[in-house]
Chain A
Amino acid sequence: MTELIKYTAAETAGAIAKGEVSAVEVAQAHLDRIDAVDKKVNAFLHVDTDGALAAARAVDEKRAKGEELGPLAGVPLALKDVFTTKGVPTTCGSKMLEGWIPPYDATLTTRLKDAGVVILGKTNMDEFAMGSSTENSAYGPTGNPWDLTRIPGGSGGGSAAALAAFEAPLAIGTDTGGSIRQPGAVTGTVGVKPTYGSVSRYGLVAFSSSLDQGGPCARTVLDAALLHEAIAGHDPLDSTSIDAPVPAVVEAARMRDVRGMRIGVVKEFAGEGYQAGVMQRFDESVELLRELGAEVVEVSCPSFTLALPAYYLIAPSECSSNLARFDAMRYGLRVGDDGTRSAEEVTALTREAGFGDEVKRRIILGTYALSSGYYDAYYGSAQKVRTLISRDFDTAFAGVDVLVSPTTPTTAFPIGERADDPMAMYLADLCTIPSNLAGNAAMSLPVGLAPEDNLPVGLQIIAPAMADDRLYRVGGAVEAALNDKWGHTLLEEAPAL
C-alpha cells in the first residue's frame, strides 16, 4: 500500500481506471503519508481530509457506473494556498487571512475538480507569494525533504516539498519571479511557468498582476504536462486570459526526441555567484543535449543583467496597489476596532498586525517607486528594461528553439541564512525573472545533485510565449536520458523521512 505514494500521476490514473486500486485507497494512502511526515516537513497549512475522500469517492462511483474518467481522475494534488477554494480556508501564508473561508472557487480550482483531481489540502508559501524560501510564511517555514534544515525554495515551497516528500504526486504553484521553478530546482522536482495568460488568474490572490502565473508542479515531465493540459485554457472571468488553443504539451512530453532542435545557452547566467556543482551539472546537461542530437549555441542577452533590479521595482509597485484591498473592512483580519478609532486608524493597525516584514518592505518600496519625483527614474526605467528584455528574447528565439540555463545560482541554502538579508534572498531568482517580465514559458527539471552538498540542481528551459510544448519536448528527452543513465529517478536518492 505504501508504494501507492511512489506512483506517478499517470500511473495512478491508469491504475484507478483499470480498477487495480480505488481512488479512495489512493487518497487514503496520501493522507496517511501526510499524517506520518508533515509534522517534520510542514508542507501543508490545511489538510482537507473529508473533501479529499469525498472527491475520491465520486471518482470511484463514476467508474462503477461505467462513465469515462479523465486522464487525472482520482490523482491527489497539493494546492498552493493562494488559490481560493470554496468552503476551505485560504490564507496565502498570512495572518491577514487567517480563518478566511472563500465563498467561491478559483477557475483553476474548478478545473481541477472537474478533472476529478483529488485536492488533499492547501500548501505553505511565503506570505502572499513574496519570497524565495517559504520562511516568510506566518505559519512557520517548510523543510526541504532532502535536508529538513534547508529551505524548499519559495514562494511555493510547500507545493514542491509535498512532491519531494511523496505527500502528493501533483501540486499547483504560482510563478511571479520564479516561485514555481526555483522550489522545483532545489527539491529535485519539475515545475513549469506556463506562458503568461494561459492559466486563469481568477481566484488567484493577486501579488503582481502582470507577472503572476499559475502552473503545474510534479515529479515527472509527463505528469506536469497532464496537469498543464488540465488547468490551461481561456477563461472569460480573467481579462488577461489568452483565447487560443493550449499547445500540445502532453504529446510533446512523450516525444523524447530533441534531434534537430536548436538550443541556446544564455551566456549571462554564469560566473560569479554560481555554485561550482550547479554549473557542473548544468554543463553536463548541455553536453547531454548535444549527444541527444540537438544543436547547441551560445546566446547573449545583455539586458538580463538588469532583470533583477527591474523586477524589484515592478513587482513591489504592483503589490503595493494590489494589497491595498486588505483594509480590514470586508474580509480578513480587523484589529483595534474598539469604538474609539476611525476606519483609517483601524486599517493601519490591522495592516501592521496582519502583514509580515517582507510584505511591508515591498509595499513601502512599491509606494516609493510609484511616488511622484521617483516614478520616471524607477518605475518608468524598469518598464523600459522590460521592453529590452523582451527584445533580447525575440532576438535569441529568432535563432534557437529554446534557451537553457541553471534554474538557480545555488542549491538549497540553510533556513535562516538569508532570512533578514533581502538582497541575498532576491538573488535566488536571478535566472527565473526574465521570463516573468517577458511573459514567456519556462520549466525547471532536476538534472542531478551538486557534488559538494548532494543537493538537487535544476535545469531551466525557456521557450517563446505559446510554445510551451517545446519545454516538454526538451524536458522529456533530458529526463528520460538521465533516468536511463542513473537507473532510477533522482528522488529515489532522497533520504527517508
Chain B
Amino acid sequence: MKKLLSVLLSLILMLSVCTALADDAPIKLTLWTFQELHTELYKVMLDKWNADPTKPALEIDFQVFPYEDMHNKLTIALQSGEGAPDLVDIEINMFANYLKGDIGLAPMNEYVEPIADHLVMSRLNNYSKNGNYYGIDHHIGATVMFFNTSILEAAGIDYTSIKTWDDFHEAGKTVLEKTGKPMIVWESADCWSVYPMVNQHGGDWLTPDNQVRMDEPVVVNTLAFMKSMLDDGTAIPCPGGWTHTEEYWGWMNGGNCAAVCMPFWYLDRFTNYMPDLAGQIKIAPMPEWPDGGHKSAQMGGTGTAVVASSPNVEVAKEFLAYACLTFDGCVTTWKICGFDPILMDVYGSEEMKEPNKFFEYYDQDIFAVLSEVLDDIPDTCLTEYFPTATDIVKTQMAYRLVELREDPEQIAHDCAEELRSQID
C-alpha cells in the first residue's frame, strides 16, 4: 500500500512539474509575409504582448518570402492541407483565391464585430465572405496626390488651388510650357493609375455577383481623360512601366515630374527611395471629377489571416486582433509603416502627432489632408474574378491606353469581353 502511494505521489509530482514547465514554455506560432516592413510592426506588438502577464507567452517565427513564392506556397499548403503557417499576410489581389471552395482561413468576427463602428469596414469587407471576416487590413490605402512643389512653383502654380481633374490638366499644360516637364505619369504595366481613377470616378470592374462593369461609360470617360493628358504631353508613360521600378524612382527623385497619384502607403516609397525630394513633396487630396464620383479610392492592402487548421487558432486570432485592431496597434502601424490605420479612433489623437520620419519628410499635417477625404471613399468589389480582372487591366487596358494610345471605347469593350469570356 505504501509503495503504491509513493508511486502515485511521485507521479503527481512529476505531472505538476511537467504542467508548470509547459506553462512557462511560450506558444510557438509561424507567420508568413511577403513584406518585411510588416514584421517590424509584429515584433513591436509581440514584445508588448509578452510584457503583459495576463497574456500567454508567445514566440513567433517570422518567415519573409518573395511575393509570388509566398502566395504559391500558401495556395499549395492550403490545397494539400499541410504545411500552412498559423498566421499569414495575403495581398488583396490574391485574397479572393483563398475564399474559394472550403475556406482554409479562420473568421475573425468575434474581434471585428464588437468594434465595427470604430473601423473602416469597407476595408474588411474586401476580405469577407458570407458575413465572415477572414482578413485584417493594416491600412485604408486612401489614394492621394503627391505634388512636387518646387516644379509647380517654378511654373507659378499653387498646388492647393487644384481642385478638379480639369484644374489638374490645365496646371499640367502650364507646367509643361514653363518647365518642359510632364505633370504626371500613367502606369502601362500595372493598375495603380487606371484603377484608382476609375474607382474614384464611381466605376469598378465587377459587381458583387460578377457582372462585368469594365465597359461602362464611367470607365470609358476616365480612360478618355487619361488619354487626353497623354496626347498633349502633360502625362507620359511611367518610366519602367510602373511606379515601383528603380527606373521610375531614380527619374522621379531627379525632379523630372510634377506629381504622382498613389495610395497613402506610397508615403514610405518617397522617404525610402526618393530622399532628395525631402521637403519638396506635399500631399493633397485627389482632384475631383466634375461629373460626380468620390473624393478618393481605397487601393491595395494586405489581409492578415489566421489559418483555420492551426493548432493554436484562438491565440493566433487574439494576437492578430491585438496587433492590428487595438488603438496601440494602429498607432504603432502608423509610426512604423506610415500607413493610414483602419481604426478611426486614432485620428486626431496626440499619439499620431508625435514627430517621425514622415512628418519630417513631408513637413505638413498629413492627417488633415486625409481627414478631408475619409468620409467619401467607395467600396471596391473584390470577387473571386478580381485577380482575373486585375490581370486584364495590367496586361491590356493600361498598356493599350498608355503605350499604344488606342481608342478608349474599343479598349474598354475588348477588356470587358475578355473578362466575360473568363466568367462562367
Specify whether A and B are partners. Answer: no
Q: Which residue numbers of B lie inside 8 Å of A, CB to CB? A: none
